[in-house]
């Protein structure tokens, strides 16, 4: 009953033309409806609001089911959509309504975009800011060397450029109206993208050309997670053993839950071990540290691990004002004021590592005051350590309290002191590169 025809600017295949010729209802964007031959007498619905268009389809098919109508005399319903309608397209919404459409796909705009610049894209991350929040797409671009962004008006090349400039040196390839009369492919820097007018629709390739090309992989998109994590302390340069112990880091990472599209703050980062492990999971990460020498050390560790982490030198909480909201925060150093400042901004969770028992209660209170559900545990690992004579002793690591808070579903509490809009950029932070 429903045929979904993908359109990429090339002539439609015979079957698609046949279905169109027989259609009684054709639904599609204005640009698609004007580009294909419509049968005389067919009703057309311009797809602006998807829900309204789906209602029209349901109504058309529902009417046919009425006993007074002869379904055999009716033409079909054709839905015109861009590229491959099964890829971030209308097929999902149709199936959610119980339809089982036949799909005649064209080339996806993402495939066309990479083809225009002659790049392979099995290693590219494809993200959508179309009808979704831009921040996840931005975080993916912060962390990954090759990202294709499906855009939307108000969440396009200019907004992406604003979020990534100046601290993320990237190359944008903006592909406007691919396959259409206004096709234009432009290579530019994020700064330039902010000042230009871009035509819709467009897709943006965000490339980190300073990173070596990915090796041939076996899985499309983001690389699978790291082969191991909670790395030993000696995987990081550190000063006087100031590095979160592997066993403690393991539990902290479990509560932080770093993923592609997330932004994680590592506060009082020391060696940067937590930020680096989060980046290895595919998250964007910022290491916040007041000490200049530690910042240098973090940069060295980041380079050694081949990931991207922004390093922010400054005093917490003042420095946090310049950072975009995080999904999760690790607080390796700081009192209750720091914990509370982080909790007021965290969208998902905050994990605090403490050495002294007296600081546990204030940390719990700071988390709950900001609407998080707080818990705590004391962790201590006894590592097996070899002794002469092929025997072992237990070598105790220092006990540490981990206090964590999780935000239950729902937005963070409104606070009078918070500015209405947080910065989306990591302004002034030099990204640590390889
Ligand atoms: C809802 S998604 C649909 C993606 C589509 N299914 C595909 O495979 O290309 C809409 C977004 O796709 C991108 N897009 C679709 N057609 C395009 C075109 N001709 N040129 C550039 N981008 C296009 C734009 O980012 C647009 O906002």
Q: Are residues 303 and 389 in the same domain?
A: yes
Q: Are residues 78 and 40 in the same domain?
A: yes
Nearest alpha carbon, ligand 1 atom 11 = 150
Residue 379 CB–ligand 1 contact under 6 Å = no
Phi, psi for 402 (deg, rounded to 5): -110, 125
Q: Closest by alpha carbon to 163, among 186, 141, 185? A: 141
Residue 220, domain member (yes or no): no
As a whole number of angstroms, the distance between CA 316 and CA 290 comes to: 8
Pocket test for ligand 1, best of 30, 109, 112, 199 (most atoms within 8 A of CB): 109
Residue 201 CB–ligand 1 contact under 6 Å = yes
Residue 222, domain member (yes or no): no
Q: Are residues 291 and 162 in the same domain?
A: no
User: Could you read off the pLDDT tens digit of each residue along the chain, which spans 434 residues?
Assistant: 899 999 999 999 999 999 999 999 999 999 999 999 999 999 999 998 999 999 999 999 986 665 655 544 567 999 999 999 999 999 999 999 999 999 999 999 999 999 999 999 999 999 999 989 999 999 999 999 999 999 999 999 999 999 998 778 899 999 999 999 999 999 999 999 999 999 999 999 999 998 887 788 899 998 888 999 999 999 999 987 778 899 999 999 999 999 999 999 999 999 999 999 999 999 999 999 999 999 999 999 999 999 999 999 999 999 999 899 999 999 997 899 999 999 999 999 999 999 999 999 999 999 999 999 999 999 999 999 999 999 999 999 999 999 999 998 665 555 544 454 455 566 545 554 33
In the 3-class helix/strand/coil scheme, how is 81-97 assigned residue by residue? EECCCCCCCHHHHHHHC
CATH number at residue 185: 3.30.950.10
Beta strand extents in 316-399 (DSSP E only): 328-331, 349-354, 373-379, 382-387, 391-396
Q: Are residues 415 and 268 in the same domain?
A: yes
Residue 215, domain member (yes or no): no
- Separation of 204 CA from ligand 1 center, angstroms? 10
The predicted structure's pLDDT at residue 62: 84
Residue 76: give the domain boundaries: 2-107
Q: Are residues 282 and 342 in the same domain?
A: yes
Q: Are residues 8 and 22 in the same domain?
A: yes
- Separation of 417 CA from ligand 1 center, angstroms? 40
DSSP codes joined into one string, 246-292: HHHHHHHHHHH---TT-EEEEET-TT-HHHHHHHHTT-EEEEEES-H
Q: Are residues 83 and 116 in the same domain?
A: no
Digit-coded pLDDT (tens) for 282-332: 999 999 999 999 999 999 999 999 999 999 999 999 999 989 999 999 999
Domain closes at, from 107, 131, 147: 107
The predicted structure's pLDDT at residue 422: 54
Residue 157, domain member (yes or no): yes
Q: Are residues 93 and 189 in the same domain?
A: no
Domain closes at, from 107, 123, 143: 107
Number of domains in the chain: 3
Q: Are residues 141 and 280 in the same domain?
A: no
Contact 269, 104 (CB under 8 A): no
Q: Are residues 289 and 418 in the same domain?
A: yes
Residue 23, domain member (yes or no): yes
CATH number at residue 341: 3.40.50.150
Residue 156 CB–ligand 1 contact under 6 Å = no
Residue 112 CB–ligand 1 contact under 6 Å = no
Residue 89 CA: nearest ligand 1 atom is 6
Domain closes at, from 80, 107, 134: 107
The predicted structure's pLDDT at residue 397: 93
The predicted structure's pLDDT at residue 74: 61
CATH number at residue 99: 3.40.1010.10
The predicted structure's pLDDT at residue 434: 31
Pocket test for ligand 1, best of 53, 82, 127, 157 (most atoms within 8 A of CB): 82
């Amino acid at each position: 009953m429903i045929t979904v025809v993908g359109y990429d600017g090339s002539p439609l295949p015979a079957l698609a033309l046949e279905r169109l010729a027989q259609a009684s209802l054709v639904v599609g964007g204005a640009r698609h409806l004007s580009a294909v031959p419509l049968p005389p007498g067919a009703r057309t619905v311009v797809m602006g609001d998807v829900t309204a268009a789906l209602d029209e389809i349901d109504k058309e098919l529902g009417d046919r089911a009425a006993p007074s109508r002869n379904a055999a005399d009716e033409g079909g319903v054709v839905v015109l959509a861009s590229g491959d309608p099964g890829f971030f397209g209308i097929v999902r919404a149709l199936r959610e309504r119980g339809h089982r459409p036949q799909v005649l796909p064209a080339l996806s705009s993402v495939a066309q975009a990479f083809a225009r610049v002659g790049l392979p894209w099995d290693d590219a991350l494809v993200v959508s800011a179309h009808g979704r929040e831009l921040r996840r797409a931005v975080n993916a671009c912060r962390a990954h060397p090759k990202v294709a962004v499906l855009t939307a008006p108000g969440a396009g090349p200019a907004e992406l450029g604003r979020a990534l400039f100046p601290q993320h040196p990237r190359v944008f390839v903006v592909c406007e109206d691919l396959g259409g009369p206004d096709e234009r492919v432009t290579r530019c820097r994020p700064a330039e993208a902010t000042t230009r007018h871009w035509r819709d629709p467009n897709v943006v390739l965000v490339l980190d050309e300073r990173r070596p090309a990915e090796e041939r992989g076996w899985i499309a998109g983001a690389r699978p997670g790291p082969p191991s994590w909670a790395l030993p302390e000696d995987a990081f340069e550190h000063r006087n053993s100031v590095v979160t112990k592997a066993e403690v880091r393991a539990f902290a990472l479990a509560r932080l839950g770093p993923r592609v599209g997330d932004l994680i703050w590592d506060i009082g980062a020391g060696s940067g071990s937590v930020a680096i492990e989060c980046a290895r999971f595919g998250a964007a990460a910022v290491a916040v540290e007041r000490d200049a020498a530690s910042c240098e050390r973090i940069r060295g560790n980041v380079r050694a691990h081949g990931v991207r982490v922004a390093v922010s030198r400054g005093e917490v909480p003042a420095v946090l004002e310049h950072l975009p909201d995080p999904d999760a925060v690790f607080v390796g150093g700081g009192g209750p004021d720091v914990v509370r400042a982080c909790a007021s901004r965290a969208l998902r969770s905050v994990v605090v590592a403490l050495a002294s028992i007296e600081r546990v209660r204030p940390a719990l209170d700071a988390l709950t005051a900001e609407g998080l559900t707080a818990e705590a545990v004391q962790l201590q690992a006894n590592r097996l350590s070899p002794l002469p004579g092929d025997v072992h002793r237990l070598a105790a690591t220092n006990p540490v309290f981990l206090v964590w808070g999780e935000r239950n579903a729902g937005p963070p509490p409104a606070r009078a002191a918070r500015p209405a809009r947080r910065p989306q950029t990591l302004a002034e932070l030099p990204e640590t590169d390889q």
